[in-house]
Amino acid sequence: MMLARVADSLYWMGRYIERAEHVARLADIMLTATLDRAVDAGRTQEIAVAAAGETPPAPGALPMQAARRLVFDRSSAGGVLSSLARARENARQVRDQITTETWERLNLLYLKVTGETAVDLFDMGASAFLHDVIADLHLFRGAADATMSHGEGFRFLMLGVYLERANLIAQLLEVCFGDGRGARSSDHVAEMNLLRMACALEPYLRRYTAEIEPRLILEFLLFDEEFPRSIRFATARIEENLGGISRLARGGGLTAPDRLAGRLKARLEFADMEELRAMDASALLTDVVADCARIHDAVHDAYVAYSLETRLPA
């Protein structure tokens, strides 16, 4: 079985990589909104900052200032730079467990974002800078998928990616639809920006054509089983990777994380929009965020902070 510290580092590397990409996209959409229509920029900025878990910007703060803080503020736990720094540190600790290609890709990206000219490059072309960051993160994941053995370590990495994704998308939807906010929204541009924040605009349009409605956005990002950034898709991958880890680490049998992931997957698999309307979206989204936290705690207890007695033969 893999050492606990190795499993923990790979798991957290996956979480930080996913968080960096998500916040980079939020910052990009926030800046793009200022170009598309000024009246939506304020609302889009509020959503982006709240979904990133940051404190609301001061009145009159420019989107560029908020975006720079999301990217470069080292004190921000959810910021792009701090997430990449933590991902790189975790990768450094398990350098012998990952491939040269994945290490080089992550290291080059970290050096790009922390370089002396990084802030100047951002100020000269923020959108291009953020697109490069997102593309490099895609290349990292592609390198990991193509060059790492798909064994226990890779499964911990992917478990971190998908658990973070489910949690981040649920938080984004909660900001937009919690407490009935979505029911009052009828702004076409704001709804398109929400889909862009979830990297879902084109897949959504292919599914529903040009009919952009809060109800359909919620249905797509919660329940679509084929879209890789829907919560249902992410929870299916969480269960899949946990099942693989259980087989490799314990020889099979359901563990506490397996059971929690299975319940969350089943809840989303068998829910529908009628049920969602009856209980309201906010309650379901709050439950999803809470379930992600419970799965995280259970993974930590089962694979990181376990007692030796539980693993040694009697």
pTM over 0.85: yes
Give the residue carrying structure tokens 């407490």: 179
Helices 152-177 and 231-250, interaxial angle, to 10°?
150
**Per-residue confidence band for 225, with pLDDT thresholds at 50, 70 and 90:** very high
Question: pLDDT tens digit string along 91-147?
Answer: 999 999 999 999 999 999 999 999 999 999 999 999 999 999 999 999 999 999 999
The residue with greater pLDDT, 279 or 297, is 297
- Residue 104's SS3 state is helix
**Per-residue confidence band for 177, with pLDDT thresholds at 50, 70 and 90:** confident
For every residue of 244-261, DSSP letters joined together read HHHHHHHSS---HHHHHH
Give the residue carrying structure tokens 């269960």: 239
**Per-residue confidence band for 182, with pLDDT thresholds at 50, 70 and 90:** low
pLDDT over 70 (residue 279)? no
pLDDT over 60 (residue 167)? yes
The per-residue pLDDT for 37 is 60
The per-residue pLDDT for 1 is 67
DSSP 49: H
pLDDT over 60 (residue 314)? no
The per-residue pLDDT for 209 is 83
User: Exposure of 300 by Cβ count < 10 A (0-12 exposed, 13-18 middle, 19+ buried)?
Assistant: middle
pLDDT over 50 (residue 183)? no
Question: pLDDT tens digit string along 48-76?
Answer: 888 888 877 776 677 888 899 999 998 88
Q: Which long-range contacts (CB under 8 A, 24 or more apart) does 242-247 make?
A: 242/159, 242/299, 244/152, 244/155, 245/152, 245/155, 245/156, 245/159, 245/303
Q: Which long-range contacts (CB under 8 A, 24 or more apart) does 47-52 make?
A: 47/172, 47/175, 47/176, 47/193, 47/194, 47/197, 48/197, 50/175, 51/26, 51/168, 51/171, 51/172, 51/175, 51/197, 52/22, 52/23, 52/26, 52/78, 52/79
